Amino acid sequence: SAVISQKPSRDICQRGTSLTIQCQVDSQVTMMFWYRQQPGQSLTLIATANQGSEATYESGFVIDKFPISRPNLTFSTLTVSNMSPEDSSIYLCSVALAGGITDTQYFGPGTRLTVL
């Protein structure tokens, strides 16, 4: 497995502002993912963070709202832009490990975001 950390662990933000969430892995990974978990809901994939190229977004998510960076094989950021209360969720990053069972994803602890 991998050790995955996220910063911040939680935040309370005002509407109209932006928040950047960081995800750090203790080993090099080929694939990193960002998920959203709305209150009481399951996880929904936002995008796949590709190293060296633009992220691949799922239907319903756009780069202007959720810009993603992936500068190297151990780090990624997700920005939630121009926030509204509907963006209040837990945001989780996950990684798929290379060389092992590559389909298996391991998750970070999540960032709990509240937008007022």
Partner 1 sequence: GEDVEQSLFLSVREGDSSVINCTYTDSSSTYLYWYKQEPGAGLQLLTYIFSNMDMKQDQRLTVLLNKKDKHLSLRIADTQTGDSAIYFCAENLSGGYNKLIFGAGTRLAVHP
Q: Which is nearer to partner 1, 76 or 110 (CB)?
A: 110
Q: Which is nearer to partner 1, 17 or 104 (CB)?
A: 104
Q: How far is the CB of 8 from partner 1 (least distance, A)?
A: 14
For partner 1, the binding residues (CB under 8 A) are 1, 31, 33, 41-45, 48, 92, 94, 96, 101-110, 112
β-pairing verdict for 10-13 and 111-115: parallel
d(CA 50, CA 69): 8
Q: Which residues pair with 4 in a beta bridge?
A: 25
Pair 24, 75: CB distance under 8 Å: yes
Q: Which is nearer to partner 1, 14 or 60 (CB)?
A: 60
Beta-carbon count within 10 A of 2 CB: 17
Nearer to partner 1, 17 or 38 (CB): 38
| Shortest Å distance, C-beta 84 to partner 1 | 23
At closest approach, how far in Å is the CB of 87 from partner 1?
Answer: 19
| 97 within 8 A of 42, measured Cβ to Cβ | no
What are the structure tokens assigned to 26, written together? 């203790």
